[in-house]
Amino acid sequence: MISIVSLAAKQPIDDLLISSTLRPGILGLSKVLANQYGRFNVTVNTVCPGYILTQRLEELSRLRSAEKNITIEKYLAESAMDIPLQRLGKPEEVGDVIAFLASGRASYINGANIMVDGGQVKGIF
């Protein structure tokens, strides 16, 4: 089982109140399920994408750039500056992690929360 949440599960985002409060619960649920079902050879992991250039991020960026009265390109560039890799992620980068977790090569990974965020989340846990 692979749950996909967001970086808000590990680092709250001020203007995403619901996501920042509910998504950490999914991490807890995944860990409990990993503990309960591991003995049946069922792995349960969570993937936490950061700012990935998807249609949804483009929609949000249009709204936020309009609020700031800047271009969407400038808004996206400013967003990337908060990421240590200095760029937004690509959907296939998240997909690659999910494909790995779903493969037999990840058969001993259970109860993990894997960040795919270019290093954006600053916490160590």
| Residue indicated by tokens 């977790």 | 101
- pLDDT tens digit string along 5-48? 999 999 998 888 998 899 999 999 999 999 999 999 999 999 99
Higher pLDDT, 104 or 124: 104
Res 92 pLDDT > 90: yes
Instruction: Please say if the pLDDT value at position 109 is more than 90.
Output: yes
At residue 16, the pLDDT reads 85
In this predicted structure, the answer to whether residue 2 has a pLDDT above a threshold of 90 is yes
Query: Does pLDDT of 123 surpass 90?
Result: no
Average pLDDT for the chain: 95
Domain boundaries, the chain: 2-116
Which of the four pLDDT bands, split at 50, 70 and 90, describes residue 69?
Answer: very high
Asked whether the beta carbons of 31 and 110 are under 8 A apart, the reply is no
User: Residue 35 corresponds to which amino acid?
Assistant: N
Could you tell me the two tokens for 39? 């003995």
HEC secondary structure over the chain:
CEEECCHHHCCCCCCCHHHHHHHHHHHHHHHHHHHHHHHHCCCCEEEEECCECCHHHHHHHHHHHHHHCCCHHHHHHHHHCCCCCCCCECHHHHHHHHHHHHCHHHCCCCCCEEEECCCCCCCCC
**The CATH number of domain 2-116, selected from 3.40.50.1820, 3.40.470.10, 3.90.470.20, 3.40.50.720:** 3.40.50.720
Average pLDDT over residues 38-61: 96
